[in-house]
Amino acid sequence: MNGEIVSTRHMSSADSWFKQIYKEQEFVYPKFYKMDALSQAGFLASELIKRSNQGLTSEYKDDEIAMLFANQSSSADTDMRFMHSYEHNGAPSPSLFVYTLPNIVLGEIAIRNKWYGENMFAVLPKFAPGFFVDYGKILLSTGAKALLCGWLGVLGDDIEVFVFLVESESDNGSDFNVENLTDLAQLGHP
Amino acid sequence: MTYIGAEVIISPLGRTTAENWAAIRANQSGISLVKRAGFDKSDLYLSKMLDLVDDYKFEKLLIDALSTVAQEIDPAILTSDRTIVIISSTKGELDKNIHDQFGKSISALISRFLLANQPVVLSNACISGVLAINAAGNFIDAQIYDHAVVIGCDLISDFVIYGFQSLFAVSDQPCAPFDTLRNGITMGEGCGAVVVSQTKNIFRNGALQLLSGTSANDANHISGPSRTGEGLFRSVKKTLENNQLTAEDIDFVCAHGTATVFNDEMESIAFDRLGLSDVHLSSLKGYFGHTLGAAGVIETAASMQMMRHGLLVKSLGYRESGTSRKLNVIAENAASQPETILKTASGFGGGNASLIIRSL
């Protein structure tokens, strides 16, 4: 979080990595346990960002924060679980099916925060800073004053979560451009 | 000004836009009873392309749509580095590669049509198509690109059939949007395309005007519509205000109208709150079924055909009002020259989106 390590994964734990973070950080949002891994990833990252930007939920109107997310694998992780439910477990699981869309994570974050802003989820072959900068700037010029953006790759043990906040006016942070975003994204892959 | 044209529809009603228009104006439906299609091997009403037998159906439809688009516009546009292809879809070629549902099809499009830019896939449940057209308009207004080809495509698979069955959301009859007897969706499949451009003269058959659209989340439930229609209300209100229009300026609403009890009720509440109760309104789900990520593009394309031909087609399956708020659902085809039309979509994840098209 902002370059600081806030949680370290314990490989020996019976809990998933996301559940470990939820417990360690003492979040209280029972709906978390119903979410699929993609939504849990987005929920945790957005809650951590809110903690370090206390004004985020009070400084903006309920429709001034837009969300722009992307990944490469869509909701494939949950898609496979849902397919397993009807091919091997006897019946299609409705509680899994409702998570078989990648934009559901945006719905979960919107519900959590009562955010009525613009939402977009894109599927791209790899992290594309240019897409976030181009479309992010469009959203900031057409009504949004802040953007919660993220690359959320969840496929089995292969997990890539990079969520960042863009504000049209801010005292800290760096300029929202491809170069800075590329640098930030590479911090996690030294 | 931003222009929209070159609309393409490929559906069970036909492989060309002209075939689709002829079927719609004759009030034919693409919905038929498909034997043993359900999870329990039950027969199910589907709007299915029964003659689509290719191995890679999603890729085949994308290629067919883009080939048709290429004939409808200045041929240099497709390969221009000022052109972006935006694809709206929920599940792509899931049956072929669940890990990477779009990768192979997109690569095929790039190499076959020599696309200069990496296409963007928007996967926002049932609002994907309207969102994709809005994104196209935004990219062009911001001068990031000069032209955008928007293709919406989704297939019927066991995956989506079983999923909607598990939610008890599938109608046991051809769907009846806004009708008192409606009891669920009829799944559909197909492909639609439109071209959005800053240049009017790239279109062989003339263009319409695309006004900037918006989206808004319900912030209410991941799979159920808001009871107050809040997200849809906010999206349409924003779209109208951004374009300095009021409800009185809208001549026709091409609604989402899935024919589930709760969705159509929600839409009636939102449209009532917006002062749109008296405006002519249709759902096209009775013709195409619910084509998920393709729906917004197919239905926008069909609405453009209505504008071009001066005919508002009836909302197929509708007989008697089944919503708590009044709507002016079109019960019979009506000759009309709508100047300004509103297209809306609502879907899982709480998404709502709207756009406006004007005649020139």
Q: Does B145 touch chain A if contact means CB atoms closer than 8 Å?
A: no
Q: What is the mean predicted confidence (pLDDT) over B147-153?
A: 98
Which residue in the set B90, B122, B142 is minimally distant from A138, CB to CB?
B142
B223-275: pLDDT as tens digits: 999 999 999 999 999 999 999 999 999 999 999 999 999 999 999 999 999 99
Structure tokens at B199: 């240049």
Residue B95, SS3? coil
d(CA B265, CA B326): 10
**Rounded (5°) CA angle B130-B136-B142:** 135
**Contact partners, residue B37, CB within 8 Å, separation at least 6:** B43, B44, B46, B48, B161
Cβ contacts from A onto B, under 8 A: 161
**Contact partners, residue B195, CB within 8 Å, separation at least 6:** B4, B5, B6, B69, B72, B73, B77, B147, B148, B149, B150, B202, B203
d(CA B47, CA B288): 6
Give yes or no for residue B284 having a pLDDT over 90. yes
Which residue in the set B98, B231, B351 is minimally distant from A103, CB to CB?
B351
Question: How many other C-beta atoms can be found within 10 angstroms of the C-beta atom of residue B245?
Answer: 16
Amino acid (one-letter) located at A190: P
B9-45: pLDDT as tens digits: 999 999 999 999 999 999 999 999 999 999 999 999 9
- Is the ipTM reported for this complex over the cut 0.85? yes
B42-61: pLDDT as tens digits: 999 999 999 999 999 999 99
β-bridge partners, B45? B33
Q: Which residue of B has its CA nearest to A101?
A: B125
d(CA B170, CA B252): 28
Q: Is B351 close to A107, i.e. CB distance below 8 A? A: yes
**Contact partners, residue A119, CB within 8 Å, separation at least 6:** A66, A67, A103, A106, A107, A110, B124, B215, B217, B349, B350, B351
Q: Is B222 close to A111, i.e. CB distance below 8 A? A: yes
Q: Is A73 close to B100, i.e. CB distance below 8 A? A: yes
**Contact partners, residue B190, CB within 8 Å, separation at least 6:** B9, B10, B11, B12, B30, B47, B49, B61, B153, B154, B288, B291, B294, B298
Low-confidence ranges of chain A (pLDDT < 50): none
d(CA B119, CA B303): 25
- Candidates A125, A35, A75, A120; CA nearest to B159 is A75
Give yes or no for residue B140 having a pLDDT over 80. yes
Q: Is B163 close to A94, i.e. CB distance below 8 A? A: yes
Task: Using only the alpha carbons of chain B, give its radius of gyration.
Answer: 18
**Rounded (5°) CA angle B212-B206-B66:** 80
Question: How many other C-beta atoms can be found within 10 angstroms of the C-beta atom of residue B359?
Answer: 16
d(CA B306, CA B304): 5
Q: Which residue of B has its CA nearest to A63?
A: B216
Q: Would you state the pLDDT for residue B25?
A: 98
Taking the CA of residue B134 and the nearest CA in chain A, the distance in Å comes to: 11
B202-226: pLDDT as tens digits: 999 999 999 999 999 999 999 999 9
Query: Against a cut of 0.95, is the pTM above it?
Result: yes
Give yes or no for residue B144 having a pLDDT over 70. yes
Q: Which residue of B has its CA nearest to A110?
A: B219
What percent of chain B clears pLDDT 70, i.e. is strictly above it? 100
d(CA A49, CA A63): 18
Return the sign of the alpha-carbon dihedral for residues A49, A54, A58, A61: negative
Taking the CA of residue A106 and the nearest CA in chain B, the distance in Å comes to: 7
Which residue in the set B162, B212, B220 is minimally distant from A111, CB to CB?
B220
Q: Mutate which of A73, A89, A106, A119 to disrupt the B interface (most B C-beta within 10 Å)?
A: A119
